[in-house]
């Protein structure tokens, strides 16, 4: 049974002045209901709690202080869910609310519990409606999820969805901002996301949202790495969501040849909290990325941060670019002493349980 994650941002659900735009919610419910009625397992990642609540709470504009955002979200989340429930009940569909934070994904037990809940809801033909728990998240976390773009990609990879649809007010990715440059050309399909492609994306979106095209492309990169095909584009007319699913949507498709990752690799690559960094030389970078080898101390140039065996670390190449993450077998002080040495020399000098700095089974490439 095909699984689809659909992400809808604040600007698609609320008016420019704030507050829910009920006709839009009813429209998206009708589009999602069509997928549901075709037998697909549908998950909705929604933004809009802060935008829905700040007018109700008495603020004249979207608040900027964290405690004000959290207060607005506490009011707006209830309004948002009520609107969705009323809209979906017209089609006989039951919905469920799931609120997540970045910390939930960092904790393997908690995110596994969330996954089991989602699996049970889907098996009962209930649509999970997932949002960030803004009322307990910190400012750093709120920014990191990028209007739930990041959250939608994590949900898609976690649940092994076949497709992620990110709905926005732009009909895809362009070579330049089409609102400013008449020569801008739409990019129909993307097979690999490069730094140059990310630079094409602009900043934040509308006044009621926090996500821009860049955060959506970064979300697509996570989804693609997890084996999930992604669509970023516009859904405004009846039937356009189905068109997007079937490959004829008004947007950009991000294709992938990757397979879905096991939960352990997902947690390592996308959910874990690194304790430090390791910089490796060119040969070690090639061995990790292309030859699927373990990292040996001879390939280590330097390390930063304080970490211990079993901690997660990020690995950088000599240009300072992130190439992946892994579970380290050395303490930071041990690795500083072992950096650049041969395996035989390390065994003579340093008491470590495993000679590999990072074993290939405890590694994921992210570049």
Q: What is the pLDDT of residues 195-214, one digit of tens each?
A: 788 777 754 444 333 347 88
Instruction: State pLDDT tens for residues 224-250.
Output: 988 999 999 999 999 999 999 999 999
Instruction: Give the separation between CA 60 and CA 139, rounded to whole angstroms.
Output: 21
Q: Rounded to an integer, what is the distance from CA 142 to the centroid of its chain?
A: 13
- Helix ranges restricted to H, the chain: 10-13, 22-37, 49-57, 66-89, 102-106, 108-123, 139-145, 149-158, 195-200, 213-225, 240-245, 263-266, 282-289, 332-338, 343-349
Looking at the structure, give the CATH architecture of the domain made up of residues 274-365: Roll (2.30)
Q: Is 216 annotated as a binding residue?
A: yes
Helix (H, G, I), strand (E, B) or coil at 311: coil
Q: Mind giving me the DSSP string for 225-238?
A: HTT-EEEEEE--ST
Helix (H, G, I), strand (E, B) or coil at 360: strand
Q: Ramachandran region of residue 125, left (φ > 0), alpha (ψ -120 to 50) or beta?
A: left
Please return the burial class of 90, using the count of CB atoms within 10 Å of its CB with bins 0-12, 13-18 and 19+: exposed
Q: What is the mean pLDDT of residues 103-124?
A: 90
pLDDT value for 207? 39
Helix (H, G, I), strand (E, B) or coil at 181: coil
pLDDT value for 137? 61
pLDDT value for 199? 78
Q: Rounded to an integer, what is the distance from CA 168 to the centroid of its chain?
A: 16
pLDDT value for 334? 96
Q: What is the mean pLDDT of residues 328-351?
A: 95
Whether the Cβ atoms of residue 52 and residue 76 lie closer than 8 Å to each other: yes
Q: Is 351 annotated as a binding residue?
A: no
Provide the mean pLDDT of the chain: 89
Q: What is the mean pLDDT of residues 119-134?
A: 94
Q: Is 104 annotated as a binding residue?
A: no
Instruction: State pLDDT tens for residues 136-163.
Output: 665 444 444 556 899 999 999 999 999 9
Q: Is 177 annotated as a binding residue?
A: no
- Nearest CA among 311, 312, 288, 314 for reference residue 299: 288
Secondary element (H or E) of residue 204:
none
Instruction: Give the separation between CA 159 and CA 154, rounded to whole angstroms.
Output: 9
Q: Is 47 annotated as a binding residue?
A: yes
Instruction: Give the separation between CA 352 and CA 330, rounded to whole angstroms.
Output: 7
Q: Rounded to an integer, what is the distance from CA 54 to the centroid of its chain?
A: 26
pLDDT value for 142? 42
Overall residue count recorded for the chain in this entry:
367
Q: Is 211 annotated as a binding residue?
A: yes
Instruction: Give the separation between CA 155 and CA 165, rounded to whole angstroms.
Output: 12
Q: What is the mean pLDDT of residues 25-43?
A: 97
Helix (H, G, I), strand (E, B) or coil at 4: strand
Q: Which of 20-29, 51-60, 288-297 is the least confident region?
A: 51-60
- Phi then psi dihedrals of residue 70, to 5 deg: -65, -40
Q: Is 212 annotated as a binding residue?
A: yes
Q: Is 168 annotated as a binding residue?
A: yes
Angle value at C-alpha 14, between 9 and 19, nearest 5 degrees? 135
pLDDT value for 146? 54
Q: Which of 30-34, 106-110, 114-118, 203-207 is the least confident region?
A: 203-207
Q: Is 336 annotated as a binding residue?
A: no
| pLDDT reading at 263 higher than 70 | yes
pLDDT value for 1? 84
Q: How far apart are the first and last CA of the chain?
A: 31
pLDDT value for 138? 55
Q: Is 112 annotated as a binding residue?
A: no
- Nearest CA among 118, 125, 165 for reference residue 7: 165
- Nearest CA among 226, 220, 215, 325 for reference residue 273: 325
Tell me the domain boundaries of the chain: 3-264, 274-365
Q: Is 183 annotated as a binding residue?
A: no
Please name the residues in contact with 300: beta carbons below 8 A apart, sequence gap of 6 or more. Answer: 278, 279, 280, 281, 284, 335, 338, 339, 340, 357
Instruction: State pLDDT tens for residues 73-113.
Output: 899 999 999 999 999 999 999 999 999 988 888 888 888 89
Classify domain 3-264 at the CATH topology level. Carbamate kinase (3.40.1160)
The band of 270, judged by pLDDT with boundaries at 50, 70 and 90, is confident
């Amino acid at each position: 049974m095909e699984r689809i994650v659909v992400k809808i941002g604040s600007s698609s659900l609320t008016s420019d002045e704030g507050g829910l735009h009920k006709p839009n919610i009813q429209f998206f419910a009708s589009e999602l209901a069509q997928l549901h009625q075709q037998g697909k397992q549908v998950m909705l990642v929604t933004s809009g709690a802060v935008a829905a609540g700040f007018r109700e709470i008495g603020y004249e504009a979207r608040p900027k202080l964290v405690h004000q955002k959290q207060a607005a979200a506490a009011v707006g989340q209830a309004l948002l869910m009520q609107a969705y429930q009323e809209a979906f009940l017209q089609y006989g569909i039951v919905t469920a609310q799931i609120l997540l934070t970045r910390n939930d994904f960092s904790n393997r037990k908690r995110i596994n519990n969330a996954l089991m809940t989602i699996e049970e809801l889907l098996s009962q033909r209930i649509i999970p409606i997932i949002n960030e728990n803004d009322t307990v998240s910190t400012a750093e976390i709120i920014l990191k999820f990028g209007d739930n773009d990041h959250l939608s990609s994590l949900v898609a990879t976690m649940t092994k969805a076949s497709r992620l649809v990110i709905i926005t007010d732009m009909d895809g990715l362009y070579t330049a901002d089409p609102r400013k440059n008449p020569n801008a050309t739409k990019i129909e399909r993307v097979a690999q996301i490069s730094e140059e492609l990310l630079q094409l994306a602009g900043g934040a979106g509308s006044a009621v949202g926090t996500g821009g095209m860049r955060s959506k492309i970064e979300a697509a990169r996570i989804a693609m790495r997890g084996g999930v095909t992604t669509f970023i584009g516009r859904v405004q007319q009846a039937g356009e969501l189905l068109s997007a699913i079937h490959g004829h949507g008004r947007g950009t498709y991000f294709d992938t040849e990757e397979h879905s990752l096991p939960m352990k690799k997902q947690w390592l690559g996308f959910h874990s909290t690194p304790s430090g960094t390791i910089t490796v030389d060119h040969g070690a970078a090639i061995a990790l990325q292309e030859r699927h080898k373990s990292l040996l101390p001879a390939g280590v140039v330097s390390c930063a941060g304080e970490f211990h065996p079993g901690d997660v670390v990020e690995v950088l190449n000599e240009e300072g670019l992130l190439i992946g993450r892994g579970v380290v077998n050395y303490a930071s002080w041990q690795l500083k002493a072992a950096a650049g040495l041969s395996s035989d020399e390390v065994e003579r000098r340093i008491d470590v349980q495993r000679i590999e700095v990072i074993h290939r089974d405890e590694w994921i490439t992210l570049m």
